[in-house]
Structure 1
């Protein structure tokens, strides 16, 4: 496996086309300048020591040296083999509500963005624990299977929006069932769920699902997003807000946090319920509860023994620069006087 320790240096390769364009422009200018002096063959006879081909050779060597230098600075590394590493942790499944009501702005900037920001902070604080993400509205989908790849988790998190689940609603029970199916119960690691929702428009038996999860030693926790006062649900078109959702009578719909339902779920799931605020999503309290989950050892495969290869590229760059430096733009007098194809007259 190949990777770069400093991939940002590879942007330096984008300068190569600029060098080429600049060199071609200068070469064209010189060609016009020589042409202005008279016939090309006559001019070459007037300046026999000037080489018109060596600048090309020097430029090619310079470009090759620059490229080698940039790649060397990026520090290419090769993973020599795949190894299994023993890690001790737990499995954590995030169940994130992406229904339209999560766009309500009683939390800045809205409930969903606040939740995503909290999950990102949670990922930053994980050590060896595996994490997965399930998104749900009227239906539930696995957004990210259980993994220790925290970078991938953040990447998937950034793509989450309310349009990714076509069916509206709040099927918390379906999300819990989907999370249970995503767990591997054969490895024996401790498992827990964090449901992040406003609990509104609840349409299935989430309490029964949470109770079933608890029977399998899966702790179900809930973070409530929103306020009891609530807020209207905005409508967006082409990225701009154009109004608010209304009911059949034309009255603006106000989405409120359903705390009673959230508490019932956590009671059945043997977890904790926390209501989020703009300043604190309540993750500290929930993670304190999850810390009680038993950690067990599991195998994680990854490339090990990455070896640096920058030395080779820097050495080649140095050699090319030295060669380029000692190549003169003038012809060698000794070689120029040598004519291998001259026919001597007898």
Structure 2
């Protein structure tokens, strides 16, 4: 609404309009309670000191004249003037705030083991499905970061390049299964090399690799330590997560449908050394809750610096109420010069 063109509109006094405005000095509204008090004091003072003209009339000659009610118009106008001034002092305004956020972002490569042992059911429903679920939640919590996906067992290949299309990335995560790679084994070194190849051409100031595995390096044509040193040469930080419980763990069912248990061991040495070389951290998790906590910690540690610029456009509307106060003041002065002020009481 244009102030100069529509200040006389009665919409300024509707409850919906008053609610829609921002009032910078709302404490002035308490002054509204003083207005009727002032009018009451005025009425009492005038009532006490007003000159009275005694006239003797019989009861049948006393009649009410509607014109006598006109004497209330000037004080009502004056009350409205004060009301408008209070509204103006409360500084009604409309604020339109725009926020610009931008971030340099972080490049993150999720490197997930899909070897046969990831079918073990010490995580529900199994290790891989638990890892996929946590990975989806991790992706959901990122902002403007490019995230890629590498899977590995006996071989390693890139499932998704670095992308900010999180919906597409989650689709790739959903489609991860044990049939993606035929060769058995756990090629940790190859997985590190493929992930490094995806990250090495990145211009991001922060490049991160999250390696999740439940086994030792048993396949591939590159040693994990050598691959970790190669990643470190490209300033890639590596977090390693060893997933799985030690000892007997459920793995499928026997002929009678009963849970089958296998002995599970994991040498953490390689994963610890990889994290150390990559200036990251090593984690060992034995249940899904611990895995979620690890990803939550990595999420906190690897946050991009989000810079924010705010633009605040404020339009003041107090001139509208001051104009109304001026108009009503002129009307009050005009009525003060008429017979209304001296109209006799009944």
Count of aligned pairs between the two proteins: 202
What corresponds to 1:101 in structure 2?
117
**How many Å apart are 1:261 and its aligned residue?**
2.5
Matched, 1:278 2:288: yes
What corresponds to 2:186 in structure 1?
170
Post-superposition Cα deviations, 1:140-188, rounded to whole Å, max 9, x if no partner, equal 0111111000000111100001111100111111011101111252524
Does structure 2 conserve the Cα–Cα contact (< 8 Å) formed by 1:91 and 1:131?
yes
**How many Å apart are 1:208 and its aligned residue?**
1.7
Does structure 1 conserve the Cα–Cα contact (< 8 Å) formed by 2:119 and 2:251?
yes
Does structure 1 conserve the Cα–Cα contact (< 8 Å) formed by 2:211 and 2:239?
yes
Matched, 1:220 2:232: no
Name which of 230, 252, 270 aligns with 1:234: 252
SS of the residue corresponding to residue 274 of structure 1 reads strand
Does structure 2 conserve the Cα–Cα contact (< 8 Å) formed by 1:139 and 1:165?
yes
CA distance in 2, matches of 1:106, 1:138: 22
CA distance in 2, matches of 1:202, 1:178: 17
Ranges in structure 1 where 5+ consecutive residues have no aligned partner? 1-84, 245-251, 298-346
Post-superposition Cα deviations, 1:241-271, rounded to whole Å, max 9, x if no partner, equal 8986xxxxxxx75333332332122112211
CA distance in 1, matches of 2:184, 2:226: 21
Residues 123-132 or 196-205, more deviating: 196-205
CA distance in 1, matches of 2:109, 2:231: 12
Does structure 2 conserve the Cα–Cα contact (< 8 Å) formed by 1:228 and 1:258?
no
What corresponds to 1:257 in structure 2?
266
Matched, 1:117 2:133: yes
CA distance in 2, matches of 1:230, 1:199: 15
What corresponds to 2:332 in structure 1?
none
SS of the residue corresponding to residue 144 of structure 1 reads strand
What corresponds to 2:39 in structure 1?
none
Name which of 198, 211, 226 aligns with 2:229: 211
CA distance in 1, matches of 2:248, 2:237: 28
Ranges in structure 2 where 5+ consecutive residues have no aligned partner? 1-100, 308-346
TM-score if structure 1 supplies the norm length?
0.53
Matched, 1:287 2:307: no
**How many Å apart are 1:195 and its aligned residue?**
0.5
Does structure 2 conserve the Cα–Cα contact (< 8 Å) formed by 1:191 and 1:218?
yes
What corresponds to 2:152 in structure 1?
136
Distance 1:296 1:143, change over 3 A: farther
Does structure 2 conserve the Cα–Cα contact (< 8 Å) formed by 1:225 and 1:275?
yes
Distance 1:290 1:207, change over 3 A: farther
Distance 1:215 1:286, change over 3 A: same
SS of the residue corresponding to residue 89 of structure 1 reads coil
